[in-house]
């Protein structure tokens, strides 16, 4: 199966989209949480999102969700204000009890970098 079809098959199975303030707030309470900020209009974000989905499918034990930075702009911007990490899109934020302990954006987001960051926080 081509990579894009494989990623499409994963969509919705292992990741969830944050659309409400309640869902967003819950992510900041978790001991470990991976938040992905995605812009569907950006080809770099599309590539990073595929990597994120593949990572999430292989690491179902890592709590994660994503935010559509256009439709949920206030949530995406609030993540920057809360964590002190400048807003980027695409962007991955690894939170430990609501504090950013790792972040990556653009081409630095890969299934390997996500796995390494999550693994480092668990050890």
- The two beta strands, 91-96 and 99-105, are antiparallel
State the residue for tokens 């409400």.
20
Domains of the chain, first to last? 3-117 (3.40.30.10)
pLDDT in tens, 44-53: 999 999 999 9
List helix spans (H) across 59-100: 73-83
Instruction: Say whether pLDDT at 72 is over 80.
Output: yes
**Cα(first)–Cα(last) distance of the chain, in Å?**
34
The structure's pTM equals: 0.85
Query: Residue 18's closest CA among 88, 93, 97?
Result: 93
> What pLDDT was estimated at residue 12?
44
Least confident of 20-29, 35-44, 68-77, 93-102: 20-29
């Amino acid at each position: 199966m081509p990579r894009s079809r494989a990623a499409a098959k994963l969509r919705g199975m292992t990741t969830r989209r944050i659309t409400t303030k309640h869902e967003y707030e819950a992510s900041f309470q978790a001991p470990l949480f991976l938040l992905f900020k995605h812009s569907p209009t950006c080809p770099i974000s599309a590539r990073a999102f595929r990597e994120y989905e593949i990572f999430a499918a292989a690491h179902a034990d890592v709590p994660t969700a994503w935010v559509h930075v256009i439709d949920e702009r206030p949530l995406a911007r609030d993540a920057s204000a809360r964590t002190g990490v400048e807003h980027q899109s695409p962007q991955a934020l690894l939170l430990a009890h609501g504090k950013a302990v790792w972040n990556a954006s653009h081409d630095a987001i890969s299934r390997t970098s996500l796995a390494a960051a999550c693994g480092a926080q668990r050890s």
